[in-house]
Amino acid sequence: MIRINTCAASIALALSGTALAAPTAPSIDMYGSNNLQFSKIELAMETTSGYNQMVKYHDQAKVDVKFNQWSGTSGNTYNIYFDGVKVATGPITGSQTTASFEYGQGGLFEMEIEACDETGCSKSAPAQITIADTDGSHLAPLAMNVDPNNKSYNTDPNTVVGTYFVEWGIYGRDYTVDNLPADNLTHILYGFIPICGPNESVKSVGGNSYNALMTACQGVNDYEVVIHDPWAAFQKSFPQAGHEYSSPIKGNYAMMMALKQRNPDLKIIPSIGGWTLSDPFFDFTTKANRDTFVASVKKFLNTWKFYDGVDIDWEFPGGGGAAPDLGDPVNDGPAYIALMAELRVMLDELEAENGRTYELTSAIGVGHDKIEDVNYGDAIQYMDYIFAMTYDFYGGWNNVLGHQTALNCGNFMRPGQCDGTGLDENGEQYTGPAYTTDNGIQLLLEQGVPANKLVVGTAMYGRGWEGVLPSSLTDPSDPMTGVGNGKLKGSSAQGVWEDGVIDYKGIKANMLGANNQGINGFEYGYDEMAEAPYVWNRTSGQLITFDDDRSVKAKGAYVRSLGLAGLFSWEIDADNGDILNAMHEGLAGGTTDPVNRKPTAAAGADQS
């Protein structure tokens, strides 16, 4: 009887023309919930405070999506799909429902919302939703704006071709990540990441640098790393990269993330330290301080996933850096080696946890007095590469002239100066071999550093002096035999951003000229023995030592002749493409004519 009545009721409902309807299709609210942009990293965009208050990373993004069903039947349950895969479900609460859930995968997804009840389901129109993550998985590949003077090369991918990109380059030089000739690079070193703790040396930079670091370190333990300039790193909007007010991540970091989407094999490595930020390293003779640092770097790499390892730029173990009172020649070397071992253990843990590789590198001074304080032969087993800073050999910090980034010893040197066996102008024994690229590399090879882990540095800038007048020269044909009279002066329009230093592109435009023959009173010279160029104005006395196309090609040929890893440069915003082009052409081989040099002999004292 019951079965007959139920059947009859169903027939009557059908005959009446009334059918059970599925729920109304949801309409996604496109204007709430931060325009459907969510993020696994929570960044303070409007304020400046301590790093830990400004940067908070979450394993899951918190997502709140509103949808409306203003008419019809709302249904009982919603399902949310990202690219056709169900990611959340929950109860419908009425004509407007907020779906709250967590999601751990970054990306740009097509989202659909489905409303269901016992009669069936109805889906919304698709909408685009962003789940931002620091690997850049939510970003489109970066659109580039590279100086067309950069040529294209097919350099062996196992060769290192690296450069420094500096955080502050976006200001005066207006050099942004999209200007990087990334197709011609294997490594970008991002300078610099500071360490909280004693940082008196950074006061020498002037401006707001010291105060900014003190702000970043509020609430942060000594010996932990932070971001020095959050505005440059993740707050500033770059319209060319599509940044909007509501973009979850902006600044250099977002552009680097998008660059990784375009060039996934490119290694981007944070360089920790640098000339004015190395003071805390000198406390790393204490293991507890190293432990704090290493744990902090691990957290930093898990927070900023676009980075591919860590570069240590301690200037310098043993002393001789920006702070003249810091340095322990006995204990700094073992501390450096221990730091490398501990970082390698940490990076191996990260590799196992995250399923990717991380490189450990270090930029080091190559003067004999710097190398003797560290046994790099012991340290290198933990490292991928050493970036040998084969530049800054001479400069305006004193009035002693010489080639600042020469491959070999120069014509201007005194007898026995090159190998350190002779006497200086005061009749005193040289303390060691002269500062040159080859002398430094040979010392590292003698320590047992494998050739294929050594990267030679090129200079995309010059160092210079005022007042080098012809009357001061002991050899009229070589201005390096004269005497300097203070640091080179100039304007930022000429490429002089600090006294004594000038961008290569400023040298090219204002001193070299299109055919490299010299303009504006400057004459071009080249020391064939040293493989080092210079420009000199004998009237004004301005003398500049730098790297150019010829000297960089010589360095490339040198790298190939010894089986070294490659070349890198400081710093990319000072180049117009000439130097990076020459790096590739030198490494390609066959582009540098060998120089037939006269032989030298040092047989020792006369014997009877």
* Residue 423 identity (one-letter amino acid): L
- DSSP letter, residue 89: E
Q: What angle do CA 318, 406, 573 make, to 5 degrees?
A: 85
End-to-end CA distance of the chain: 135
Place of tokens 């040197």: 413
Answer yes or no: are the C-beta atoms of 102 and 61 closer than 8 Å.
Answer: yes
3 state SS of 303:
helix
- Give the Cα separation of 468 and 466 in Å (integer): 6
Residue-level length of the chain: 608
List all residues 6 or more positions away from 532 whose beta carbon is below 8 Å from its beta carbon: 403, 405, 406, 407, 410, 526, 545, 551
H-helix or E-strand spanning residue 584 = helix 578-588
Burial of 410 (0-12, 13-18, 19+ CB in 10 A): buried
Annotation marks residue 315 as catalytic: yes
Amino acid at 366: V
CA 161/CA 158 separation, integer angstroms: 9
Residues paired with 534 in a beta bridge: 525, 545
The dihedrals phi and psi of 145, each to the nearest 5 degrees, come to -140, 75
Phi-psi region of 324 (alpha: psi -120 to 50; beta: other; left: phi over 0): alpha
Q: Report how far residue 532's alpha carbon sits from residue 530's, in angstroms, rounded to the nearest whole number.
A: 5
Instruction: Determine which one of 167, 224, 315, 466 is catalytic.
Output: 315
For residue 382, CA distances in Å to 280, 345, 376, 548 come to 22, 9, 10, 34
Positions marked active-site: 315
